[in-house]
Structure 1
């Protein structure tokens, strides 16, 4: 009869004979070793120790063991789940995964479409701003041209009025000179004392030439004045 050492998980004790082992109430899972064994074994693995274990009969109310399933019944289940229920769960799982994948790609497509729409809106807004800026530039140019045109008209109107004023002054002077020349002509015609006929005729010719020049100048000034008044009327219109 062999003597056995017992290991309690932290240290070994022994050796013990079968009677002593039985008194220690070892279990089938208790590690034991005896001379001739290469390594520790559980007590339940050693035939000689089977008489050491205490047999406890089951109580009356003990639940009967579950019968082993037949191979045919086992074939109706997959990983412990009824095949029909397993297939239904698999279908639902595939449907859920497919829905998630579809939603993922749909969200990506929507995001891409939204990004394109945002780019288009920005381009449209930029184009509208450019159009507005161009229109404002055109309006500014038109306004500047209008102001420049009004300035030129104002200056031209002032120039015309200044020239009219000069013409009126010149006409007044010419009319005064014409009246004086006519008086001189009348006096030269009537005055004969201490002058020869040739001298008298020469004086009369000079005065008449002066009168003719004054009349031509007055006529030219009047024509110019009429043209200036006509241009002023067009400006006012």
Structure 2
């Protein structure tokens, strides 16, 4: 099992201890008595818990004088054989107290619940960031390649005869074409003043005095008839 030197160690006592998961187990060192001094604990023949050794101090605590071992928040990983090693006062020989610890019940602890919640929240945050990045990337591709047209290019297009419309404005409404009304013609019932001086329309004015004189000249005289 293990070799401490100076002969085969004496197995003083073997006990079996059952503890519920998540509780604190207390293991007594049965090899420590008036003839022996506690040295260290050995877990599953490999892990040393004692002075001058590196171990999980938050998980394991031991009493120097009695050798009593406290195991906090036990889980199935802590199940196994624990050996309490004590040395005789005369310095020759060792005794061993063996304890078989069995962890019962569920190993799910409040710490495990906190860990699960932290993992779930982390996954939600990562998923949200991925969705946001995908949406931003999609919007960027939609507007990728579009830019402001330089002024000189717009002038070149205007020079080619293409009409450019500003889409942000509406075309000016075309005013209905005013149909010119014909000037009113002369009244059929002409007054004597209109006959003497004409009407407002210059194109229709007639010198009626000259017409009358011509009619009198061209008319045959009464004596010649």
Which TM-score band applies after superposition, normalised by the shorter structure? under 0.3
With CA pairs under 8 Å and 6+ residues apart, which has the higher RCO, 1 or 2?
2
Q: TM-score, normalised by structure 1?
A: 0.26
Q: Which has the higher helix share?
A: 1
Q: Which has the higher strand share?
A: 2
Q: TM-score, normalised by structure 2?
A: 0.26
